[in-house]
Structure 1
Amino acid sequence: MCGRFALTASPEELLELFGLLKVEDFPARFNIAPTQPILVVVASERPEPGSNLPDRKAMLVRWGFTPAWVKDPRSFPLLINARAETATEKAAFRAAMRHRRILVPASGFYEWHRPPKGSREASQAYWVRPKKGGIVAFAGLMETWSSADGSEVDTAAILTTGANKTVRQIHDRMPVVVPPEEFSRWLDCRTQEPRDIADLMSPAPEDFFEAIPVSDRVNKVANAGPDLQEEITPVASLPAVRNPADERDGDNGQLTLF
Structure 2
Amino acid sequence: MCNLYNLKASPHDIAAAFVAVEALGVALAKDYVSPGRSGLVVTGSAADRQLQAMRWGFPPPQGVRNPVVNVRNYVSPFWRSALANPDRRCIVPVTSFQEWSVDPDPTTGKKRPYWFSVPSRPIFAFAGVWRPTGDAPAYAFLTTGYEDDPSTHLVGAIHPKAMPVVLHEEDYDRWLQAPVEDALTLATPYPSQLMAVL
**Do the two structures share a fold, i.e. TM-score over 0.5?**
yes
Query: Could you list the runs of 5+ residues in structure 1 that have no partner in the other structure?
Result: 45-52, 147-151, 213-258
Q: Which runs of 5+ in 2 are unaligned?
A: none
Distance (whole Å) between structure 2 residues aligned to residue 96 and residue 182 of structure 1: 18
In 1, the alpha carbon distance for the partners of 2:158 and 2:33 equals: 20
Provide closer, same or farther for how the CA distance between residues 175 and 66 of structure 1 changes in structure 2, counting only shifts above 3 A. same
- Partners of 1:75 and 1:114 lie apart in 2 by 23
Distance 1:130 1:26, change over 3 A: same
- Asked whether the 8 Å contact 1:109–1:128 carries over to 2, the reply is yes
Q: Deviations over 1:87-131 (max 9, x none)?
A: 1x1011000001111110010101110317x99853111111112
> What's the offset of the Cα at 1:169?
1.6
Secondary structure, counterpart of 1:197 in structure 2 = helix
The answer to whether residue 68 in structure 2 is matched with residue 82 in structure 1 is: no
Task: Mark the CA change 1:124 to 1:194 in structure 2 (over 3 Å): closer, same or farther.
Answer: same
Q: How does 1:1-258 map to 2 (within 5 A)?
A: 1-23=1-23, 24=25, 26=27, 29-43=30-44, 54-66=47-59, 77-83=66-72, 86-87=73-74, 89-99=75-85, 100-115=88-103, 121-146=109-134, 152-163=135-146, 165-172=153-160, 173-188=162-177, 192-212=178-198
Conserved 8 A contact 2:27-2:53: no
Aligned positions, number: 188
Is the CA contact 2:70–2:140 (under 8 Å) kept in the aligned structure 1?
yes
The alignment's TM-score, normalised by the length of structure 2, stands at 0.83
* Residue 233 (structure 1) aligns with: none
SS of structure 1 residue aligned to 2:167: coil
Deviations 1:149-207 (A, max 9, x none): xxx4311111101256100121021100111111111111xxx2211112211000121
Task: For 2:41, give the aligned amino acid.
Answer: V
Q: Kindly indicate whether the alpha-carbon contact (under 8 Å) linking 2:91 and 2:125 is maintained by their aligned counterparts in 1.
A: yes
Change (3 A) 1:155 1:27: closer
Provide the identity percentage.
31
Q: What's the TM-score once normalised by structure 1's chain length?
A: 0.65
Pick the structure with greater CA Rg: 1
The root-mean-square deviation of aligned C-alpha atoms, in Å, is: 2.7
Contact 1:62 1:156 in 2 (8 A): yes
Checking the alignment, whether the CA contact within 8 Å between 2:9 and 2:31 is kept in structure 1 is: no
Deviation at 1:29, TM superposition (A): 3.5
